[in-house]
Amino acid sequence: MAALMYQIFSSSALVSLGLYHLISTTRNYLKSPQQPYFAKPFHPFPHNRLRHLQLYLVTLCLIIAFAHQLLLSAESDPLVKGHTPVHRFTSLQSAAILFLFLLLSVSLLLSDSPSSLLPLPPDLFFALGSAVFFLQYSVSSTAATVQTSDLQANCDTISARISALTSLLCLILACQPRLFVADVGLGAAFCLQGLWVLQTGLSLYVEAFIPEGCHGLLDVVSGVEGSTKCELEDSRLRAVAILDLVFLVHVMFVVLIAMVTYAVVAKTVGIRRLGSYEALPTAAADNNHIQMKAMTGTQWALRAHLQLVS
């Protein structure tokens, strides 16, 4: 039950972060159509007292996640006697990754402080974030190869792919900070990772969501390796196929969230960026047009006068 509660907590934090990033990114893009767009590592709240609320909440969530991974690494596996359980190493690796994210959050908070204790440019933060997400991808991939749980291995593999996508988007923003599509994709990736964390918790710890042919092991501590098992190869393949299909459903749902967010923010802001536009007539063009008309009228009057004289 504790493991499921942690999955729900992590999912809520990631989805909230992704939605806030999507809304803030879209709003900054639409409210200043005449100015070039630049991606930001974080989006401050409009009130001065709550300016760093996002960073405070992210830091608090990272501290809780870091402590949870340390506690999880201390859990003993009843099936492993005389050897160090594999989950201890994977939990310590996850704790190290979370500590790196915590350092980034604190560094960003110090960089945005009035005294500017750590004045780092935004592109450097995106580059560092890309490196940490790539490390998370590596850790998740390694955890998937050593898992004794069939469902946990597949969930870790999909989570690693999302981390690799997030790393790529951060790298693109470090090189091309004006690319609005990459910034929106980053917020969508956070939402997708959060939804998949929730799906992982349901598929591993809720009996109703465990695929047919697989079951949880009662003599194993919940949340450590080997908590679920598929007895037959056909059951394992069917469970993997179901999880892959569910992942595609989550992807479509995130795409829908991004589109609805853009539409709602565009309607709220009331300003749209146009890819192409027609140039309005300038004052000089109007003067030239009036002068041409005046010259044409003078020519007709001169011609009429010459005809009368002749």
- 149 backbone φψ class: left, alpha, beta (φ>0; ψ -120 to 50): beta
Which residues lie below 8 Å from residue 125, measured CB to CB, with a gap of 6+?
A: 41, 104, 107, 108, 111
Strands 228-230 and 214-216: antiparallel
Question: Rg of the chain's alpha carbons, rounded to an integer?
Answer: 29
DSSP state, 229? Answer: E
Q: What are the structure tokens assigned to 27, written together?
A: 């709003």
pLDDT in tens, the chain (310 residues): 677 888 899 999 999 999 999 999 999 898 877 788 889 888 888 777 888 888 999 999 999 999 988 888 776 654 444 445 666 778 889 999 999 999 999 998 888 776 667 778 889 999 999 999 999 999 988 877 776 677 888 888 999 999 999 999 999 999 999 999 999 999 999 999 999 999 998 888 888 888 887 877 655 555 455 567 777 788 888 888 999 999 999 999 999 999 999 999 998 887 655 543 444 444 444 444 444 444 455 555 555 555 554 5
Alpha carbon dihedral 163, 41, 65, 251, in 10-degree steps, equals -40
Angle at the Cα of 146 from the Cα atoms of 144 and 147, rounded to 5 degrees: 65
How many other CB atoms are there within 10 angstroms of residue 57's CB atom?
15
Of residues 264, 256, 278, 190, the one with CA closest to residue 30: 264
State residue 220's pLDDT score.
Answer: 54
Which residues lie below 8 Å from residue 270, measured CB to CB, with a gap of 6+?
A: none
Of residues 12, 9, 6, the one with CA closest to residue 68: 6
Rounded CA separation 163/257 (Å): 19
Of residues 27, 24, 20, the one with CA closest to residue 272: 27
Of residues 27, 295, 1, 15, the one with CA closest to residue 183: 27
Q: What are the structure tokens assigned to 44, written together?
A: 């401050």
pTM over the 0.75 mark: yes
Going from the C-alpha of 136 to that of each of 110, 141, 159, the distances in angstroms are 24, 8, 9
State residue 211's pLDDT score.
Answer: 82
How many other CB atoms are there within 10 angstroms of residue 235's CB atom?
17
Which residues lie below 8 Å from residue 144, measured CB to CB, with a gap of 6+?
A: 152, 153, 154, 156, 157, 160
Q: What are the structure tokens assigned to 221, written together?
A: 């501590």
| C-alpha count within 13 angstroms, C-beta hemisphere, residue 248 | 5
Cβ-based burial of 17 (10 A; exposed 0-12, middle 13-18, buried ≥19) = buried
In contact, 100 and 132? CB cutoff 8 Å: yes
Rounded CA separation 103/110 (Å): 10
Rounded CA separation 210/222 (Å): 14
State residue 262's pLDDT score.
Answer: 93
